[in-house]
Amino acid sequence: MSKIEWTDETWNPVTGCTKVSAGCDHCYAERMSRRLRSMGLPEYRYGFRVTRHEHKLELPLAWTRPRMVFVDSMGDLFHEAVPLDFIRRVFDVMVEATWHRFQVLTKRAERLAAVAPELPWPKNIWMGVTVENETVLGRAVLLGRVPAAVRFVSCEPLLGSMDGLELAGLDWVIAGGETGPSARAPEHDWVANLCHRCTRAGVAFFFKGWGGRTKARGRLLDGRLWGQYPDEVPR
């Protein structure tokens, strides 16, 4: 089971990535990959270099209990170093595993939008982009071109106001503060305003927490726990 609050399980047919924007500065996956490499895990023998794992491709087919599956928590499926053929194979597994809901998240919205017409989009594949501040709002615009049944935006780490984020066409927004060493704390108003806008727009809102080194501030926003999913909010 995953410790990530908004999913049940992680599946990493691809690991490794390269930095593309401010949200990558203190990448948790990069830190974790170094730790796993030092522990001798063969999947991380190349550290955080983009690596495909053929032996992991069919893993979700062995999970008989339905679950929400975060795809590539330790990498980015749409990284330019991942061949389109391999992306198709990952999607083929998701199509076959109809009893799961797959949550795919990328910072590479340009490539996603370019290859989306060549990929299948059944209802159990949720597609999202990370938008950590208003300098990368274009990722959400590009997401709108993807014919996914559920489109979502992850504002984590939340590094600025999201007042410019267009919510039309979105089904879900996740927000959260940065965790780990040198974590950059989000302002209360950034989170509260985003939550309020989502509520008014009928978009599910999930607050992952305030972040920090220990997550001691918890997940409450003005005394309430926000943990909505797309199918829980009438549109």
What is the widest separation between alpha-carbon atoms in the chain?
A: 49
Q: What is the mean pLDDT of the chain?
A: 96
pTM greater than 0.75: yes
pLDDT score, position 177: 96
Query: What burial letters (b/e) apply to 188-212, b meaning 16+ CB within 10 Å?
Result: eebbeebbebbeeeebbbbbbbbbe
Say yes or no to pLDDT of 153 above 70: yes
Confidence band, pLDDT 50/70/90 cuts, at residue 2 = confident
In the chain, the amino acid numbered 82 is V
**Per-residue pLDDT reduced to its tens digit, 159-202:** 999 999 999 999 999 999 999 888 999 999 999 999 999 999 99
Domains and CATH numbers, the chain: 9-13+55-232 (3.80.30)
pLDDT score, position 235: 61
Say yes or no to pLDDT of 206 above 80: yes
pLDDT score, position 34: 94
Q: Pick the more confident residue, 228 or 214.
A: 228
**Per-residue pLDDT reduced to its tens digit, 72-83:** 999 999 999 999
Query: Which residue blocks in the chain are alpha helix, DSSP H?
Result: 28-38, 84-96, 109-115, 138-143, 188-201
Confidence band, pLDDT 50/70/90 cuts, at residue 232 = confident
Query: Which residue blocks in 39-83 are alpha helix, DSSP H?
Result: none
Task: Determine the Cα angle at 156 with ends 154 and 158, to 5°.
Answer: 115
What does the DSSP assignment read for 95-107? HH-TTSEEEEEES
Alpha carbon distance, N-terminus to C-terminus of the chain:
30
